Every structure is written in C-alpha cells, then in structure tokens.
Structure 1
Amino acid sequence: MPKRVLQGLVVSDKQDKTVVVKVERRFTHPLLKKTVRRSKRYQAHDEGNSFKVGDQIFIQETAPISKSKRWIVVGKDAPAS
C-alpha cells in the first residue's frame, strides 16, 4: 500500500526534531456548491531540525514514531515516487 504524501506549511518548529505542519484541503460543499477550505495540523519528524516556520514542505505517512507523530518530513521538493 503506497504511503500518503501531503503538502503543507510549517507553523511551529519549537520542539526538538518535530515540526507542526498545517495541511489545507479544498472541496465543494455538497449542498451549497461553494468551495470550502478545511485545515488540519500534523506533527512530523524532522531529524535535522532543518525546517523553519513558513516553509512549504512535503510530509509522508510512516509507522508511529511517538504518541503523536505518524509523519516524516520528505523535503521541500515533491518526492520522486
């Protein structure tokens, strides 16, 4: 099963080896037919503490790393998969 890859914006880098990434999705509301924006925050593993607030990054699903981390940072560029 392929692992999901999401693109998001780093909103926090205060924790060691962890970044908080805000991922936004857009969809059309089924009844109102308007475009709706929803966002969700993910904690992702950043081994080198190399990403700062405001960076656009890609995160990939992985096995659990800690209680709240299920994602790892792939990089600033799209993965080659």
Structure 2
Amino acid sequence: MSTHKREIQGTVVSIAGEKTASILVERRVLHPRYRKTVKRFKKYLIHDEKCELKIGDTAIAVECRPLSKTKSFRLKTILTTGANV
C-alpha cells in the first residue's frame, strides 16, 4: 500500500467557516495548440484544525481521507503570511 500523499501549495483566499480555509492553487500548463504556457486555477477547501490561517497566507496542504463532502486536504505548513492583506 502506497503512503504517498498529494501535496498542494496555494494562497488563502477566504476563511470558509470554522476550521476551514479556501486556497487558490495555480498551475502552469502548455496550451495544446499554441504551445504557450497558460495559468490554470483551482480552489480547494482545506482543514485548519487550529484556525491559524489568515487571508493572503501561502500554505501547503496534504491529501487525507474525506473530512466532508468537499474537503479532502488538511493543512501541513504555512510558508508565508500575508502581512498587509
């Protein structure tokens, strides 16, 4: 059985209730026709047990068992804090 868990890194865009934050993850993909690098964005809900995330923070989340209908990631570390946001 593999213990490899997917990790995502993104910016906190909202606090979505108690112990939950919404992060925006950006990935860069090559456009199939034009061969240009374009940005793709997706929002994930992550579980923040200690309620330590603020809007503007950059965080890493790790995949876990489903905690609710839409929440399958939990907070691993906070990389930077959004000081002036």
TM-score, normalised by the number of residues in structure 2? 0.86
Determine if the alignment matches structure 1 residue 58 to structure 2 residue 60: yes
1:17 to 15, 19, 29: 19
> How far apart are residue 14 of structure 1 and its match?
4.1
**CA displacement 1:23-57 (0-9 Å, x = unmatched):** 01001112101111000000000001100000000
Structure-1 separation of matches of 2:73 and 2:24: 12
Which runs of structure 2 are paired with 1:65-76 in the superposition (5 Å)? Answer: 65-76=67-78
Structure-2 separation of matches of 1:14 and 1:70: 14
- What residue number does 1:45 align with? 47
Aligned length: 77
Structure-2 separation of matches of 1:14 and 1:5: 20
The secondary structure found in structure 2 opposite 1:38 is strand
The secondary structure found in structure 1 opposite 2:45 is strand
Name segments (4+ residues, structure 1) moved above 2 Å.
none
Letter of the 1:32 partner, please give it: Y
Structure-2 separation of matches of 1:29 and 1:4: 24
Identity %: 42
> How far apart are residue 68 of structure 1 and its match?
1.1
Gaps of 5+ in 1: none
Name the structure where strand makes up a greater proportion of residues: 2
Determine if the alignment matches structure 1 residue 29 to structure 2 residue 31: yes
